[in-house]
Every structure is written in C-alpha cells, then in structure tokens.
Structure 1
Amino acid sequence: MPQHPYGLAGLTVLHMTQPVEGGVARVVTDLAAAQVRAGARVVVACPPQGPLAHAVTAVGAETARWPARRSPGPALPVEVTAAAHILGDVDPDLLHLHSAKAGLAGRLAAHGTVPTVFQPHAWSWEAARGPVRAAALRWERHATRWTERVLCVSRAECASGQTHGVRAAYTVVPNGVDTGHFTPAADPAAVRAALPALSGLDPAAPLVVCVGRLCPQKGQDVLLDAWQSVGARLPGALLVLVGDGPDARRLMARAPDRVLLAGPVADPLPWYQAADVVVQPSRWEGMALAPLEAMACGRPVVLTNVAGARESLPAEDGDHVVPVGDERALASALLRLLTDTGLRGDAGRRGLAHVREQHAVDTTTAAVADLYARLVALPAPTLGAAR
C-alpha cells in the first residue's frame, strides 16, 4: 500500500456491518486486509452467521460479535446497546459503518464521540416506500451531525444523497476489485466443463450468468421475464443465477426453461470466466461489484441504469445499460451480445482494460486509508459538530 501522510500504523479501526455476505462483505474484507498490512489494528463487528467473520479473521483482523438483523425492527435497542458495548471494548480511533443497519445502530451508539465514516452501499430509502421511505430520509438527514464523512462508491450515489437533502461532507471512492484474482481464463471452455452444475449440458450453448443475492434489489424476477424473449430467439441459451437469498424459492417456481439456480458459491470466479455475458438487472445500487469482477475476467456485461452503472463501464459501452425494470430492453441488450461474437469480444477487452485502470482494489483501499488519515488528524472540536 502507498505511504499515507499520517500513516495507519498503530491506528485502531472498527468496521461495523450488516450484511455479512455479497458485495458489502467483500468490500469490508478488502479494506480490512489492506489496513492490517498497513499496520492498523482492525476489528470487524458483525453477526456471526455468514462468511464475513471467517474471511476477515483469515486476513488478520479481529472480530466482535454484533447480533444484528438486516432490517430495522423491534430488536434495534438491543442492537444499539450491543454496538455501544463493542465501541467501549474496542476504543477505536475511527469507526467505519457499512450499509443502512450499521449506519443506524452505529451512529446512535457512537453519537459523534469518535470520527465516523458512513458508507451507504446504496441509500436506505431506495429500498423503501411510503412512511418507511420518509422515515429513512429523515434519519439520514439527521444522522449527518454524527458523521465525519459519507463515503460513496459512485458519483451518482453521492448526487442522490445531495439531491435528497443529506447535507454532509462527502468523499467518492469507486469500488475496486482484485484484478490479480479476477482475471480472464486461458481456456473458458475448460472452465465451463469443470463446473459440476453444467455437467451434461451442451458446452457450446450461449451462457448468461447473473451473480448476486436473490432478492428484490437485484431484479432477477425482471431477468426471468426477459429470458422468455431470449429463449424464444436462442432456444439453446442457458441462464444461471448464482447466489442465495429470500427470493430463491419464488424465483425457482417461476423460472422458465433453460434457467439454472446454482446456489451460493464461495468464489464466483469460474462462473464469470465461463459466461458469454454477465448481467446485473438491479433496481438500485451504489456501484455493484459483480459487473466489475466480470469485466476483470474479460466478460461483457449488461446493467440496469442504477447508481454507478454508467460509471463502472467504459464510455463506449453505454448502450449496454438499460432502464430499470424494462424486460424488453434487457432482452434486446442480451441478444445483441449473444448473437454477435465480435461485439462480445470488443466489449470484453474494453471492460478488462477499464477495470484494470480505474477499479483496481489497491487504488480503492489506498484512497480510503488517505481519508482515514485526514479524519483522525482533525482537531477534536470538529468531531461530532452539527452540519
């Protein structure tokens, strides 16, 4: 990691997060690994279920058991109290809160007594409607008084916060991926043949892969509707949904022919490498990791026009971004790539170069470390000041 103006050696950083899987967990793990290498003491407070606790322990971080549910509810007072106990035990120099639940409980517990970074990973109000949405907006506007910095993963996510009246000090650090791990396969056909889930299927069949939690945010239901049109045009094409989540049973029940639910995987790398096209039909995001990982593997991607989508793609591939919820546009974009080998190859090469230049994880973790160094060097009276 590059040298920082004040350094991280000796700094105690407390990350607090719920969820513990998917993109948020990978971001936390990447940050923890880089910060441990830089000499910081890193503690990750999270629920014990899921892969995150094991992953951060493997990179040298400590863990603290924080029994939190994903959504707000009656357990919130207990979650805030638990967060306060963790803060007292760890005594961090800096608190980094990831996603809505940790942003809520962590800021209520810390109350501005420690420099606090809040990273939305997509704003909470985007997942809500009616009174819940209004309450989420009121909270995010109020909580900035206990937030030294709101860390956004895309300019669009930052702009959304500003547009919705969240007056805060913002920093934008685009998501990054490990381009040493996520790389193109020397022989994609061999990778595909080695995947047990594809055993017995035509190895030459067009293959579309969607990696993500099976939930309303990720839009797999719209993708299944779009796949009806893709399948009518390319009867041999196969769609694979990689992941697990609350919508798994419902999606399986309505899946058309030539759709496979592969379940959760520890590492999606071979699925990216095996795919002809990777698709991310989300309803909202900050900047999704899966498309970046796919492009790092040299695969073309199709995205919906959520925050971070256009920023994550090369400028030449803007037509691979389709309106949210538009199954016809989604099917059309998939068919364009599936039926044109040259177009796929060009898009894959552009995406690979773009991610390596703009979204390498070392660049992301270095930028976050620089932010930490600036925040912990602030004079004490600025901490917790109302904005």
Structure 2
Amino acid sequence: MLHVTQPTDGGVAACVESVCADQSRRGWAVAVAAPPGGRLGERLAALGLPHLPWPAVRAPRPADLAAVVALSRIVRRFRPDVVHLHSSKAGLAGRVALRGRVPTVFQPHGWSWLACRGPLAPATAAWERAAARWAHLVVCVGTGEARQAEDAGLRGPLTVVRNGVDLTRFPPAGQDRREAARRALGLAARGPLVVCVGRITRQKGQDLLVDSWRQVAARLPDARLALVGDGDDFDRVRSTAPPDVLMPGASADPRPWYAAADLVALPSRWEGLPLTALEAMATGRSVVAAAVPGLVEVVTPDTGALVGPEDPAALAAAVLDRLTVPSLRHAEERAARSRAAEFDLASTLDRLAAHTLRLARPPHPADATATEVTAGPG
C-alpha cells in the first residue's frame, strides 16, 4: 500500500498518519511517498514505516514534471497493490504518472479549483473532470465535497468516507483542564479566549477573524484571540493583527489550545471536512464557523453557530453571543462532545480499509458482510 502526499503538516498529514498506522496494524505493507521533513516524517519514523522522499511542492510550477517522474520511479520500485493519492498535488502527479495502470484512490481533501481565482479555476475543474478516468475510486471526506464534484461535472466512481476524530486522543476538557492548559501555555488564567487552529492561509480565513476581532475587543477588552499555526499568510495576517491577537506559530499538539479555549472559531472560505472542527468538538468546545460545505456538515445549531462566509460582522456577533452568555456556550459544549462521537475515527478507518481491499483483489463471498456495513456515505 503506497500513500502519496505533498502536505507533511496539518490536516492532510494527520489523515495520512492515521490511515497508515491503522493499515500497518492490519498487517499491510505500507509506505508513504512525501517530501522530507514535517510532522508526518517524524510520525512515520516513530511508527517504523518507510518514508520515500518525493520532491513535490505545494504551488503549481514547471518542476511538477520532475515530481511526476520521481513518483513513477517510486511506484516501480515499491510495486504497490494500491496507490492512495492525498490532496491536489499528489492527485495531479499520481494520476499523470500512473494513468490507471495501478489501482488508484484519489482523496482530494478539498477540491483544487476552490483555491484558484480567475480563469485558473475553470481550467483546474476541467483537469479534474479529465483526470477522473485515471482514478479507480475518488474518496470525498464529506457529502458537501461530493456535491461539489457532481456540480462541477466530475464523473466516475465516487464515495463518501467522512473524516473522523480519535475520541480517546481528544477527551472532553473541563474547567480544571482549561486552567492547567492555560498555565502550561503561559496564558492568563481568567479572561475569554478564542482559538483558531490551522494553517494561516486564505482558505482558513484568519484575516476575516482578525477583522471581526476589533468588534469583539471593543466589548470585551480582556478577551484574547489565538491563531495557532503557520502558513503563507502568516506575516500578512500578523501585520494587521492588534496586540491582543496571539500568533504562537504551529503547534505539534493542538490539544492544550483546545483545552485552554472558551470557544473555537473556524472562519474558512472553503473546506473538505476539517479535523479541527471535530477535534474542538470532541474536546467539548463550542464552535463558531463559516457556513461552507464541510463545516455545515459538522457544526449544528446546538453545538455552535454557522455564519455567512466572509462576513466579519456576523462572525463577531456570534463570538460575542457565546462569550457574554456562558449558559449558551456551556449547553453547546455538552452537545458538541455528543456530536463528535458521530465521527469516530475507527469507523472511518474501517470504511477506507474495506474500499482499499476491494480494489486490491476481486470481491470474495466472505467480504459480503463488511460490504454491507460500509456501504453508503458517512
């Protein structure tokens, strides 16, 4: 089993790590082709899994041809039964390199055209429609992502396997853990704290959250906002952020930040189905999020608030409602943990394994029960 990914940090890398660890426990021979470095490389070393260096970069560029050639060589050496391509760069290089000659799973983790502007967006969507024939299965992480594919005219074998959260790794955090987390992070023991975890990019919308924060701070001068992550927009966002916005950089373990928070905000412009929302809710945190596909699939009216995309005023109002009415926030915290349990990672991993096995070998009567259990989205 060969997994291919360009991101080595963030949500995509976390998904790859979880799937590889699970498949290794099942006794499969698993390897990952990915750029050197990053948290993913550290985790693969800890798991004892092969990390095959693959020279790929996030942004499209002429060097992508070298990434296609390098991946072709990796596949010839490793000779996998199934190749699982994660995110847009692996989806591009892998499908061009393989062209369907090896059973191929493509998991976009957020469609590539959503990140594009101007004429590049329809051109990218056209590429995805053409490349669909080179994937034996396209795995969408949520029903919203699947609908986006259908609306864009993608045809081919498509299924939904929703992202999942490890409920044992993200247990609920009460007041004692909140205070302990704040001490460990060097934060004030008291005062409202809103946390946003994720790469600081246009997609994740931290610039919108900073714009909204001025309205929050005017009402609650002791409130603090923490943007936990790094990314292409880090310097730009930091240059516009007021002093009460903390930007500690990327965190190898976001759990203390969720535990320290009174509220988690996710103002994304687009998503697949973000792990950050599931992790925050599993920790028992109310979530204020943009009403975009992926987030509308997770956040419900009893677990937080969904506000119009790219609407800082609505974002500020929803945050203030929860910081100034503790009873509302506490009710949402209780509901959030229950909601997160519907996205148990174990179910996600079982479904992915069942789909992979069906590609690796012909169906067998003994698989009938598993097929029935894993059929359909969710």
Task: Give TM-score scaled by structure 1 length.
Answer: 0.91
Distance 2:30 2:298 in 1: 29
One-letter amino acid matched to 1:364: T
Number of corresponding residues = 361
| Contact 1:33 1:60 (8 Å CA) reproduced | no
Aligned to 1:312, the other structure's residue is in SS state coil
- TM-superposed CA distance for 1:251, in Å, is 1.2
Shift, 1:324, TM fit: 1.1
Q: Secondary structure at the match of 2:269?
A: coil
2: distance between equivalents of 1:115 and 1:28? Answer: 18
Amino acid at match of 1:191: A
Q: Which residue of 2 aligns with 1:190?
A: 180
SS at match of 1:130: coil
Report deviation, 1:131.
2.3
Distance across 1 between alignment mates of 2:243 and 2:134: 51
Q: Give the corresponding residue for 1:81.
A: 69
Structure-2 separation of matches of 1:209 and 1:355: 18
Matched residue type, 2:203: Q
Quick one: distance in 2 between partners of 1:347 and 1:377? Answer: 45
CA distance in 1, matches of 2:312, 2:46: 41
- Check whether the contact 2:142–2:273 (CA below 8 A) recurs between aligned residues: yes
Partner of 2:375: none
Q: Secondary structure at the match of 1:303?
A: strand
- Structure 1 residues 370-379 or 107-116, which shifts more? 370-379
In structure 2, C-alpha distance between the alignment counterparts of 1:350 and 1:56, rounded to whole Å: 34
Aligned to 1:7: none
Q: Return 87-96 or 252-261, whichever deviates more.
A: 252-261
The equivalent position to 2:227 in structure 1, one of 212, 217, 241, is 241
CA contact (8 A) 1:98 1:118 kept: yes
Partner of 2:284: 298
Kindly indicate whether the alpha-carbon contact (under 8 Å) linking 2:289 and 2:299 is maintained by their aligned counterparts in 1: no
Equivalent residue, structure 1, for 2:49: 61
Which residue of structure 2 lines up, in the alignment, with residue 181 of structure 1? 169
Contact 1:36 1:60 (C-alpha < 8 Å) held by counterparts:
no
Counterparts of 1:1-387 in structure 2 under 5 Å?
A: 13-186=1-174, 187=176, 188-196=178-186, 198=187, 201=188, 203-314=189-300, 316-317=302-303, 320-356=305-341, 358-378=342-362
Shift of 1:122: 0.5
* Whole-angstrom distance in 2 between the partners of 1:224 and 1:313: 21
Q: Deviations over 1:18-61 (max 9, x none)?
A: 11110000000000000000010111100003111121232232
1:233-286 deviation line (CA, Å, top 9, x unaligned): 111100001011121111111102311101111100000001000011111110
Amino acid paired to 1:337: R
How far apart, CA to CA, are the structure 1 residues paired with 2:293 and 2:49?
31
1:86 aligned counterpart, secondary structure: helix
Higher relative contact order (CA 8 A, sep 6+): 1
Task: State how far apart, in whole Å, the 1-side matches of 2:110 and 2:42 are.
Answer: 25
Distance 1:56 1:110 in 2: 24
Where does the alignment leave 5 or more consecutive residues of structure 1 unmatched?
A: 1-12, 380-387
| Amino acid of the structure 2 residue aligned with 1:307 | P
- Aligned partners of 1:95 and 1:114 also within 8 Å: yes
How far apart, in 1, do the equivalents of 2:159 and 2:359 lie?
12
Q: Aligned letter for 1:100?
A: S
Cα offsets for 1:58-108 (capped at 9, x unmatched)? 223211000101021110110000010011011001010000000000111
SS of 1:55's partner is helix
Secondary structure (helix, strand or coil) at the match of 1:194 reads helix
Q: What is the Cα-based RMSD across aligned positions, in Å?
A: 1.2
Aligned-pair distance for 1:365?
Answer: 0.7
Letter in 2 for 1:190: A
Q: TM-score, normalised by structure 2?
A: 0.93
Structure 2: how far apart are the matches of 1:348 and 1:94? 41
Measured against aligned partners, the alpha-carbon deviations of 1:304-355 in whole angstroms (never above 9, x if no partner) come to: 11221121124634x6111110001101111111111111111111110111
Point out where structure 2 has 5 or more consecutive residues left out of the alignment.
364-378
Contact 2:192 2:222 in 1 (8 A): yes
Is the CA contact (8 Å cut-off) linking 1:53 and 1:63 kept in structure 2?
yes
SS of equivalent to 2:203: helix
| Rounded Cα–Cα distance in structure 1 between residues aligned with 2:23 and 2:125 | 32
Shift of 1:361: 1.1
Question: Contact 2:3/2:84 (CA < 8 Å) preserved in 1?
Answer: yes
Whichever residue aligns with residue 72 of structure 1, its letter is P
Q: Which runs of 4+ in 1 moved over 2 A?
A: 313-317
